[in-house]
Amino acid sequence: MLPSHIAKAALPAALLSLAFSAFAQGTPSGTSSGAAGSAAAGSSKSAASKSSSSKSSQLDHSDRKFLESAAKDGLAEVELGQLASQRAESPEVKQFGQRMVQDHGKANDQLKQLAQSKGLDVPTETDKSHQKKMEKLQKLSGAQFDKQYMDDMVKDHKKDVKEFQKQAKSAKDADVKNFAAQTAPTLQEHLQMAEAAQKTAKSESKSSKASK
């Protein structure tokens, strides 16, 4: 047995040694836990990034281009329709413009929701081609406006019907194919309406020129 004065001196040293040992064991453990947490967070972010990337890349290139183009065209139809409903001289042309605002506005909302579900941000503005068309129409009035607007609408809807019918058959994504198939008949109806209104507008344009 150790003398009492030696035992007393050894006790603090032993306690200090135990404390240091506990601290040394705790530090790696804490560090390991922090590293694991950091790794888990990084893994989570990486997974989220991959998920987002996978979501945005789930559309075929042709499907993505179709939705982007349809979005720009749809926005243009609404803007031009609003202009026609205000400026057209013929009641038939004015009503056609109002129908464009109504139908294409609805289709635009459906398209936007579809695109977002696929991780795609579609254009929110028309392109330069449509902007030039708008600027040209804004300079016209009366029978001249009606004729030019309906000429544009017939041309645009022939292109749209062809494109939507094509995508209704060949789109890679089932939802995109379904959207095209559901929208194509409405566009076909628009084309028929546009051709009828175009005849009226041409007749009025001839009458207007003859009266001058």
Among the residues of 118-173, which ranges form H helices?
128-138, 142-170
pLDDT tens-place string over residues 47-91: 444 444 344 447 899 999 999 999 999 999 999 999 999 999 999
Would you state the structure tokens that stand for residue 168, as one six-digit string?
Answer: 């209704």
What burial class does residue 172 get, using C-beta atoms within 10 Å of its C-beta: 0-12 exposed, 13-18 middle, 19+ buried? middle
| Sequence-distant (≥ 6) Cβ neighbours of residue 95 within 8 angstroms | none
How far is the first Cα of the chain from the last one, in angstroms, to the nearest whole number?
132
pLDDT tens-place string over residues 20-54: 444 444 444 444 444 444 444 444 444 444 444 34
Write down the CATH number for the domain with range 59-211: 1.20.1260.10
138 touches 78 (CB < 8 A):
no
Q: Where are the domains of the chain?
A: 1-57, 59-211
Report which of residues 46 and 198 the model is more confident about: 198
User: To the nearest whole percent, how much of the chain has pLDDT over 90?
Assistant: 62
The region that residue 149 occupies, defined by phi over 0 for left and psi between -120 and 50 for alpha, beta otherwise, is alpha
Which SS3 state, helix, strand or coil, does residue 59 take? coil
pLDDT over 50 at 19, yes or no: no
Residues 113, 95: Cα–Cα separation, whole Å: 28
